[in-house]
């Protein structure tokens, strides 16, 4: 399985998501928007096991904290080094390109900015957002420049 939408499945929790992360390492797109029981444990499992993830929707997952953002950043950095070591395809080198953390109100600027700094394909360029942070009032100082278009 490469894509799964669990959006607004309000009974989906960490145990089910961790099983998914361990059992489906080739996931490329996952939508957990509105899954209010999801915590950092799910994102950590995903970051450690689904290294080809390109798109992640966490809209309104209000139990997500900076620990989740840190694990995504660290996973990308580790995967980037592993990719260079084994010379994998360009598709696998790109990593996370779309992240929706809107309404994840527990996040703070330093770890979200570190995520942006670690993953060059995430950006907040006008009209080309790949990092969506609406409703995160604490994140007003986060800025991710698009590495591809020079914004």
Please give the pLDDT value at position 123. Answer: 83
Residue 145 lies in a domain: no
* pTM of model > 0.85: yes
- Establish if 146 belongs to a structural domain: no
pLDDT at 129: 74
> In this structure, is residue 73 part of a structural domain?
yes
Does residue 150 form part of some domain? no
Q: Residue 119's domain is classified under what CATH number? A: 3.80.10.10
Residues 6+ apart with CB under 8 A from 3: 27, 28, 29, 30
For residues 6 and 151, the model is more confident at 6
The answer to whether position 61 is within a domain reads yes
Domain span at residue 25 reads 3-139
- Helix (H) or strand (E) segment spanning residue 114: helix 109-118
pLDDT digits over 104-140, tens only?
A: 999 999 999 999 888 878 887 777 779 999 999 888 8
Count how many domains the chain has.
1
Q: Residue 149 falls within a domain, yes or no?
A: no
């Amino acid at each position: 399985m490469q894509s799964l939408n669990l959006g607004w499945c309000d009974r989906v929790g960490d145990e089910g998501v961790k099983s998914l992360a361990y059992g489906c390492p080739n996931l490329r797109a996952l939508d957990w928007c509105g899954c209010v029981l999801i915590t950092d444990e799910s994102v950590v499992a995903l970051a450690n096991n689904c290294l080809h993830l390109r798109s992640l929707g966490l809209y309104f997952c209000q139990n997500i904290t900076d620990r989740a953002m840190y694990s995504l950043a660290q996973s990308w950095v580790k995967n980037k080094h592993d990719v260079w070591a084994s010379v994998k395809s360009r598709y696998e080198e790109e990593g996370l390109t779309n992240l929706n953390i809107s309404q994840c109100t527990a996040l703070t600027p330093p770890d979200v900015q570190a995520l942006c700094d670690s993953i060059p394909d995430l950006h907040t360029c006008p009209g080309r957002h790949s990092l969506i942070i609406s409703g995160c009032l604490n994140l007003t100082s986060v800025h991710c420049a698009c590495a591809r278009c020079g914004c």
